[in-house]
Amino acid sequence: MDEKLILNNGTELTGHLIESDRLFLYLYDITLAEAFRLLDKPANTKVITWERYGNTGTVEGYKHLKSISEEAGGMICASLTKE
């Protein structure tokens, strides 16, 4: 898959993000418990670098895990806010 997220602590995750009124993460090849442990630490999420099909970027300031769930096919969806 040509989609990767890199957390501030250097952890690389397979997935992508969408930024709107909050940050939505769509993660693959990770369990709900593993994702929760990583994303519930503001130090890990305050800066997230994304790589998607040759494009790269960074989002900053998202430090509050608002929701997390396991969706069909094992995809993990999480949302973060800056508050």
C-alpha dist (Å) from residue 57 to 17, 22, 66, 73: 11, 16, 22, 27
Q: Where do we find the tokens 């305050």?
A: 46
Q: What pLDDT score does 2 carry? A: 87
**What value does the CA radius of gyration of the chain take, rounded to a whole number of Å?**
11
Confidence of residue 1 (pLDDT cuts 50, 70, 90): low
- Model confidence over 17-33: pLDDT tens digits? 999 999 999 999 999 99
Q: What is the pTM of this model?
A: 0.94
- Model confidence over 60-82: pLDDT tens digits? 999 999 999 999 899 999 999 99
